[in-house]
With several copies, the nearest count.
Chain A
Amino acid sequence: MARVLLFGRLADAAGWRERIIEAASLSALRAALGDLVEGPGIQAAVDKAIVRGDMALTAASEVAFLPPMSGG
């Protein structure tokens, strides 16, 4: 289980910005979210650190999906 945050166009595509989702790992969470969080340049951050592989999640985990960034 994890608190899931979406940013930028991902939040628009999903229709939500924040939601609690049941998932024991980052890969399970990705599978649950499907196409929404797939695509070039989309990164995941767990507890505010970018994670490239898989990782176990707890109820306290905060998972953010970040589309390609564009500041300034």
Chain B
Amino acid sequence: MSVFLQTEPFDPGALLTAFSVGRSETGAVVSFTGLARAEAGATTTLELDAYPGFTDAEIGRIAQAAAERFGLDDLLIVHRTGPIAPGEAIVFVATAAAHRRAAFEACDHLMDYLKSRAPFWKKERGPAGERWIEPTAADLADASRWDTKETS
């Protein structure tokens, strides 16, 4: 299980290749890649602020809990911080499990967490200026789907 925060761009495919090789008992690998959208020219740069030592520890704690809850063979989270151009990957999550349901649910769950509860702060810059993005009502509802299940 690995969690990386990095300012450098990354290639999701290279991460998926490295994550998938040499697995003989993993039946399912699910990946999510979050890309920065240009919003038809409205966004020229995305900037992600993180709190080193806190952000990575929080993500690691959630990742560990997800690995146990969904019975994962392995998982990988790579998250950019700093300025990100449209079309570049912001986040990559890969989950490996014996069967596909666990891999899908764990990846979906981790993304819901990362989108609404992980300690990042996101600013969009464009021709019209800049604004901080906060989780949408849909993001919060998505994340809360997993709360009721946590005790079951």
Contact = CB atoms under 8 A, between A and B. Distances in A.
- Tell me, yes or no, whether A and B come into direct contact in the complex with CB atoms closer than 8 A: yes
Given A67-B121, A71-B115, A48 B53 contact: yes
Contact of B132 (A67, A71, A72): A67
Given A8-B121, A9-B121, A67-B121, A72 B51 contact: no
Interface of B: 34, 48-49, 51, 53-54, 57, 79, 90-91, 100, 111, 113-123, 132-135, 139
Interface of A: 5, 7-9, 11-12, 41, 45, 48, 64, 66-72
Contacts, number: 71
The DSSP consensus for interface residues of chain B is mixed
Contacts of B116: 69-71
A7 B49 contact: yes
Interface of chain A, main secondary structure: loop
A5 B134 contact: no
Given A8-B132, A12-B132, A48-B57, A71 B51 contact: no
A5 B121 CA distance: 14
Given A8-B121, A9-B121, A48-B54, A68 B135 contact: yes
